[in-house]
Amino acid sequence: MAITGGATVAYVVTADGDELESARTTKMRKDCMRIDEAIAALVAGKTATVKGGDMADLRRQWIVSRETLEGD
């Protein structure tokens, strides 16, 4: 399937404890969260949607945020 216009590969992400669960999808770029917005949503127990290219950075920053929260 071709992705045209403002659409991009994206991931819908939820947090299960320290682990992130993700499902691949296609979304409009404007509907995807920045990584900091996604981290805040996940910490609050909500679902986040990020661009496919941001998924690796989200996972890295999620680990750091969890270590920071556990240190408090």
The pLDDT tens digits for 1-54 are 555 679 999 999 999 988 999 999 999 999 999 999 999 999 999 999 999 999
- The full set of domain ranges for the chain reads 7-71
According to the model, what pLDDT value does residue 51 have? 97
Q: Which residues of 1-11 are buried (b: 16+ CB within 10 A; e: fewer)?
A: eeeeeeebebb
